[in-house]
Structure 1
Amino acid sequence: MRRPPSIKQLEAFLVIEALRNVTSAAARLHVSQPALSRTLRLMEEDLETPLFKRSTRVVELTAAGTALLPVAKRLVGEYYESFGDLGNVLDGQAGRVVLAGLPSVVVALMPGALRGLAAIAPHVEVKVLGLPEQQVLAAVRDGTADFAVVTQPAAAEWFRFEKILVDEYVLLCRRDDPLARKKVLPWTTLASRPFIGFTHASSVRPTLDRAFIQMGLTVNVKYEVDHLSLIGAMVAAGLGLSVLPRLALALIDCAELASIALQGRVVERVIGSLQRVDTALSPAAAKLREALFEEVHSTQGRE
């Protein structure tokens, strides 16, 4: 029964065919002539047919050798191409990464991070999932996502969280509102105007509710919505004021809006990278995470 030759044997066959001389081929392959002759003999025994016609000076292909030649070239080429692809994956130069995150965070941070990744690893494919907070955590926990960018959750044993930045909350008003001329405003400004807030499904709502209670501040929540873009449109329509994390401004049309810093009590959210403690990131995912941190640090350096 014929046995297929090894890649090493096919390589030897191709070098012998190219040089038409066993001694020269042995020198090219950095082996002894007897060792190469033995490799060829074993290959012919496995295939149960001679591959070369031997003479004192040169060797020529037999009919079987001629038939094997294109097959050997293809197999050896595919072998090294495949290992080249594997090397790219192991080096983080190729592969696929799935990242999950809050929509306001991924819209604000990921375009720059992906641009940085493309510059150093152009063959890495990335899927970005913009999800509510609990779905982001679930995606990482069940392995759907390699890692996430999310607000810092309550500590748990299954994940590791590393801070990337602190995102402050700002007041949102119309650009032509007299308030827009101020660089900073007190939180009490909110008490004098209708307030446009988030529904309880939003991760922003409990943060603001807690802050209002701690400050003893009563706001007139006239509208509750569940989409950032709608909040922007309603503020632009003059229906009231709102408070958003600064990164969330990337999700709304700010052409007619102004964002003002709030003084007094500091209200902010910590944004960071979250991954499972029992699963190491792939090289490509690690490169994306590194590009994300570099994007944030370079952006903060320009501000």
Structure 2
Amino acid sequence: MAISLRQIQSFLSVAECGTFTKAAERLHMAQPALSQLVRELERELGIRLFDRTTRRVELTEGGREFQGASAKIMHDLDLAVRNANNLAERRRGRIVVAAPPLLAAILLPSAIVELRQRHPGIEVAIIDARTDKIVEEVRLGRADCGLGTFSAIEDGIERMPLTRDSLMLFCASAHPFAARTSLPWADLAEQPLITLTRDSGIRLLVEVGYETAEVPLRPLYEVSQITTALALVEADLGVAVLPTYALAMTSGRPIATRPLVEPTIARDVVMIRPSGRSPSPAVLAFEAILRSCIRRVGDLDWGTSGEPGVQQTR
């Protein structure tokens, strides 16, 4: 069956107007062309839709039944088109974002506020989880996008770099290291170290720094969350090596930060999306806003110290 939308539109117009002449005027087309479309539709359906008189046309029983069904089809199609236009113009939509807890706390609130101001019809849901969980949620389509630092060997995802991040030393303001401008990793050899547990990508990078500097890594405290590590640093129970974005959690606290060199270890903070799927207009709008938020947070110096060093992607 080869029924066209133009045929249905012609039929509905004739049914509403009651004459072919008025329907043709409404559709801005010649009456013979309109009559031909209706005849073709009748032929495809195998029923007569109108009883024709010299002055009017009236729906047959089959025509009345088809009018109800076809009017609903056209209404649903019109609604689908309007919804698509709303999405394309970023007036509505829903985004699920997955991010590590600290990065989510630093970036997402301001990004969501700005998104709601620009596009109040777009909703955002948050999954705050570990890096491996973020990749899984994105890969399986349960999250539209993810934020963080991810292994280059992860498949099933596409990466959009957002900024660079480097590891820094965090110590109490009263610690002797606070008087230094930068520190080589070798100087950490005798320091009580506060580090994240080994299921963290940050911990793996810390191990790279210690191994490169040829000093033993003997953590005094191993914790799962950066916020816990910062609390221990604030109490002067040791020093910690953490990503630059943790600076956002030190404002007003007696914590000093210094670049680590020899080597400098940096990695990309990226947005990931499922590979092979076109991002929705809502996700693209959120990505643009997120970049502007990162530029504002960039006042905290997300980048490296400028020293040559080890460039990592995890």
User: Into which bin does the TM-score normalised by the smaller protein fall?
Assistant: 0.7 to 0.9
1:121 positional shift: 5.0
Q: Name which of 254, 258, 262 aligns with 2:255.
A: 258
One-letter code aligned to 1:29 = L
For 1:12, the equivalent position in structure 2 comes to 10
| Paired residue secondary structure (1:184) | coil
Residue by residue over 1:163-189, the C-alpha shift from the partner in whole angstroms, topping out at 9 and shown as x without a partner, is: 3211122333445x3669757353577
Aligned partners of 1:198 and 1:226 also within 8 Å: yes
Aligned partners of 1:109 and 1:292 also within 8 Å: yes
1:292 positional shift: 3.2
Q: CA RMSD in A?
A: 4.2
Residue by residue over 1:195-217, the C-alpha shift from the partner in whole angstroms, topping out at 9 and shown as x without a partner, is: 32222122111211221232344
For 1:203, the equivalent position in structure 2 comes to 201
For 2:307, the equivalent position in structure 1 comes to none
1:136-285 equivalent positions in 2, closer than 5 A: 136-155=134-153, 159-174=157-172, 177=174, 182=179, 184-187=181-184, 190=188, 194-217=192-215, 221-250=219-248, 255-265=252-262, 266-275=264-273, 279-284=276-281, 285=283
For 1:83, the equivalent position in structure 2 comes to 81
TM-score (ref. length: structure 1): 0.72
Query: Structure 1 pair 162/79, CA: closer, same or farther in 2 (3 Å)?
Result: closer
One-letter code aligned to 2:183 = P
User: Which has the larger displacement, 39-48 or 138-147?
Assistant: 39-48
One-letter code aligned to 2:280 = P
Q: Name which of 28, 41, 54 aligns with 1:30.
A: 28
1:29 positional shift: 0.9
- How many residues are matched? 297
- Structure 2 gaps, min length 5: 302-314
One-letter code aligned to 2:258 = A
| Paired residue secondary structure (1:164) | strand
Q: Return the alpha-carbon distance in structure 1 between the equivalents of residues 130 and 234 of structure 2.
A: 25
One-letter code aligned to 1:247 = Y
| Paired residue secondary structure (1:271) | strand
Aligned partners of 2:234 and 2:255 also within 8 Å: no
One-letter code aligned to 1:171 = L
Aligned partners of 1:22 and 1:33 also within 8 Å: yes
Aligned partners of 2:131 and 2:150 also within 8 Å: no
1:35 positional shift: 2.7
Q: Name which of 99, 103, 106 aligns with 1:105.
A: 103
User: Which has the larger displacement, 188-197 or 203-212?
Assistant: 188-197
Overall identity of the aligned pairs, in %: 23
Query: Structure 1 pair 257/246, CA: closer, same or farther in 2 (3 Å)?
Result: farther
Aligned partners of 1:95 and 1:123 also within 8 Å: yes
- Structure 1 gaps, min length 5: none
One-letter code aligned to 1:283 = S
Residue by residue over 1:103-141, the C-alpha shift from the partner in whole angstroms, topping out at 9 and shown as x without a partner, is: 333333334444455456554444443332333334444
